[in-house]
A and B are shown apart, each in its own frame.
Chain A
Amino acid sequence: AQSVTQPDIHITVSEGASLELRCNYSYGATPYLFWYVQSPGQGLQLLLKYFSGDTLVQGIKGFEAEFKRSQSSFNLRKPSVHWSDAAEYFCAVGRFRGGSNYKLTFGKGTLLTVNP
């Protein structure tokens, strides 16, 4: 069965600083990988996804993530954090199960606090 580990429960950065959120996955085949963001009281919004091809993926809001198969990682990065980036971030792995269906398994999330 697939699983996702987000080692950092809570991260605090200063506005303008760089950010890296860690994600490690466990899955036997080539995974589908996702990062979602959740603001308070809101649903999950997709930041970016990796299905295949280039291992450096660009997303919305200036975020990017790099798939490293050898490390089973899919870390999220942003060069300069804005106060509006404060939210909870979830990494997810998708297990393909035929047709157009796959099952998403989420990590427990990393809460990002941005100091002015």
Chain B
Amino acid sequence: EAGVAQSPRYKIIEKRQSVAFWCNPISGHATLYWYQQILGQGPKLLIQFQNNGVVDDSQLPKDRFSAERLKGVDSTLKIQPAKLEDSAVYLCASSLPSSGANVLTFGAGSRLTVL
């Protein structure tokens, strides 16, 4: 099966500019996650969608970050305005709901550098 697709792979912007990342999950995966991975740290969950509804956005900096998942498939994560500390890899993951726990499949990530 095709994996989780993300674009762009790399993006360099200046602070206060905006940026958007796109994610296409594995077909049929109803749950989609965005993680932020800062250099030297483990990934941190930003937002989790179940179909097109938000399950958890408790760690999303809502003053500058937004995410949407229209039609319950693709998702877009936006940062506006960007700060230096937003430099990180943004990982998208998806999972297939089942009667029990399920495993996340990650995309290759989008690396953001804010100058």
Contact B45 A101 (CB under 8 A): no
Complex Cα gap A108–B40 (Å): 7
Closest Cβ of chain A: how far from B29's Cβ, in Å? 11
Q: List the B side residues contacting A63 at CB < 8 Å.
A: none
Q: Taking A4-B42, A107-B42, A109-B42 as contacts, is the C-beta distance between A45 and B106 under 8 angstroms?
A: yes
Q: How far is the CB of B7 from chain A (nearest CB, A)?
A: 13
- Report yes or no: A100 in contact with B101, Cβ–Cβ below 8 A: yes
Asked if residues B50 and A90 are in contact (CB atoms below 8 Å), the reply is no
**B: number of interface residues (CB 8 Å):** 28
B38 to chain A minimum Cβ distance, whole angstroms, is 10
B42: chain A residues at CB < 8 Å are 4, 90, 92, 106-109
On whether the beta carbons of B101 and A43 are closer than 8 Å, the reply is no
Assess whether B100 is in contact with A103, with CB atoms less than 8 Å apart. Answer: no
- Would you give the 0/1 interface string for B75-103, flagging 1 where the beta carbon is closer than 8 Å to chain A? 00000000000000001010101111111
| A51-B101 in contact (CB<8A) | yes
CB nearest to A51 among chain B residues: B101
Closest residue of chain A to B59, judged by CB?
Answer: A103
Q: How far is the CA of A46 from the CA of B101 in the complex (A)?
A: 14
The answer for the CA separation of A100 and B104 in the assembled complex, in Å, is 12
In-complex Cβ contact of B101 among A32, A36, A44, A105 (8 A): A32
CB of B97 to closest CB in A, whole Å: 4
Q: In chain B between 22 and 62, which residues have their CB closer than 8 angstroms to a CB of chain A?
A: 31, 40-45, 48, 50, 55-56
CA distance A41 to B106 in the complex (A): 13
B4 within 8 A of A: yes
In the assembled complex, A102 has its CB within 8 A of some CB on chain B: yes
Q: Does A99 contact B (CB under 8 A)?
A: yes
A101 and B43 in contact (CB under 8 A), knowing A51-B100, A94-B101?
no
Which residues does chain A contribute within 8 Å of B41, judged by CB atoms? 108-109
B interface residue numbers (CB < 8 A to A)? 4, 31, 40-45, 48, 50, 55-56, 91, 93, 95, 97-109
